[in-house]
Amino acid sequence: MISLSDLYCVLTAVVPLYVTMLLAYFSVKWWKIFTPDQCAGINRFVAIFAVPLLSFEFISRINPYKMDLLFIAADTISKLVILFVLFSWAKFSKRGSLDWAITLFSLSTLPNTLVMGIPLLKSMYGDDKEAIMIQAVVLQCVVWYTLMLFLFEYRAARILIHHKFINGITTGTINTERNMDNQGGLQKLGGGRGGEDENFNKVVPDSRGTTFNPIVAAAAAEEDGVCEQSVQACHKEEGKNSTKKKDGEEETPDAIKVTEYSSSISSQILRQILKIVWFKLVRNPNSYASILGLSWALASCWWGIKKPQIMENSVTILSKAGLGMAMFSLGLFMALQPRIIACGKRLTAYGMLVRFVAGPAVMAVASIGVGLRGTILKVSIVQAALPQGIVPFVFAREYNLHPDMLSTAVIFGMIVSLPITVLYYILLGL
């Protein structure tokens, strides 16, 4: 049975995080201390310095040669199972879609382990469980965030191909208004259409540079050029040789050529997707923090060396502020939103079920399946029941894919996460 002293230890670790978040919220909402521009500056400091250094500090402490392979296997299997189910649903169900598959994968598998998980799980199950949480952080930063970024870029490229290639082949015409402007952007696609056209205009605005950084904008412009050239080549061949296909006739050579062009453009676009992902990762400080932290951990554990004191102090002076600043930044973000529940009550309820029920349930099955027992099993389940991670919301906002739902999951999840995780802690301790 959980004692009151154990519960007090949990509250001692977590309540200060909420105090920091609420101070930031009130400083904007009630006291008007910070302007939106100042909030943006604070958020940028957190993203560029505080969180990467915090990640480096935690990851560099890990012993990669003594990682809990069963926990890593359970975490990986649970995410792969959810990924397989969601993408099967998107492919074979009429109600499924790639957009919702990406969003639901983020909601169910990417918790806020670094900011909330480490202090919470340490207070619940002891300091020795910090290493388990750091292992989860390493996998999340190096593997799963990279996968999420790839999926977002793949989605944008697929919509681009649909409008600039597939629609042109099926109709036999090219809309001359869909030309590249001098900045490498795309003019607004032809009106009169709903659904995917509207979504595409959100994903690829008139100036690609307003959504992506300059390097990525250049890569995106090159991607658009590949699409334009391939469409023109296909229609040139189609104009020479196309014949109407009657019922019962075999496929003409022209159709085979179109298929060949389709295969060629797919490989070209795939290369562009990989290039854009690479540019994104190169410009992401968290990527460097994860790689450098893991590299230092490998070297220090292999040769038995420690950080020089100057290096140690330089890192810790900011990393110690990272946790508090991350929570402060989240409070500022909450205050700048028109309402806490941005996506509506129904979607919020679905999101909370996915975040706090479906994710932990799949993790529990995977953990039991690989042989986790005792305290490690409890840690794996509670870790999966943490609130939504902040980085997936940043991706969703940048690519304009259900950002209202992800913001609600982050904000509302932080509010309800303490009683939910404590409830999991009590039930698993019975």
Q: What is the dihedral of CA 276, 295, 121, 413, to 10 degrees?
A: -10
Instruction: Return d(Cα 39, Cα 130) in angstroms, integer.
Output: 31
What is the rounded average pLDDT of the residues 284-297?
84
The domain that holds 55 is classified in CATH as 1.20.1530
Give percent above pLDDT 70 in the chain: 75
- Domain membership of residue 198 as a residue range: 156-282
Listed range (97-111, 142-156, 216-230, 298-312) with the worst mean pLDDT: 216-230
What is the rounded average pLDDT of the residues 243-267?
53
Same domain, 217 and 344: no
pLDDT digits (tens, 9 = 90+) for 16-74: 888 998 999 999 999 999 999 998 888 888 878 888 888 888 888 888 888 889 999 99
Residue 354: pLDDT band with limits 50, 70, 90:
very high
Asked if 103 and 401 touch (Cβ cutoff 8 Å), the reply is yes
Domain final position from 252, 282, 312 = 282
Same domain, 260 and 297: no
Instruction: Return d(Cα 217, Cα 279) in angstroms, integer.
Output: 10
Domain final position from 250, 282, 314 = 282
Given a cut of 90, is residue 85 above it in pLDDT? yes
Beta bridge partners of 43: none
Same domain, 167 and 258: yes
Same domain, 144 and 97: yes
The residue assigned the tokens 């698993």 is 428
Domain final position from 239, 263, 282 = 282
Q: What is the separation, in whole angstroms, between the first and last Cα of the chain?
A: 5
Given a cut of 60, is residue 180 above it in pLDDT? no
User: At residue 3, what is the residue type?
Assistant: S
Query: Residue 2: its pLDDT value, please?
Result: 60
Same domain, 40 and 108: yes
Same domain, 16 and 163: no
Given a cut of 50, is residue 328 above it in pLDDT? yes
Average pLDDT value for the chain: 76
Same domain, 414 and 344: yes
Same domain, 246 and 319: no
Same domain, 223 and 314: no
What is the rounded average pLDDT of the residues 185-199?
37
Number of domains in the chain: 2
Same domain, 175 and 293: no
Same domain, 93 and 167: no
Instruction: Report residue 58: phi and psi, to 5°.
Output: -70, -45
The residue assigned the tokens 């200060």 is 16
pTM: 0.70
Q: Mean pLDDT highest for which of 156-160, 316-320, 346-350?
A: 346-350
For the stretch 31-34, contacts whose Cβ atoms lie closer than 8 Å and that sit 24 or more positions apart, written own/partner, are 34/332
Same domain, 166 and 263: yes
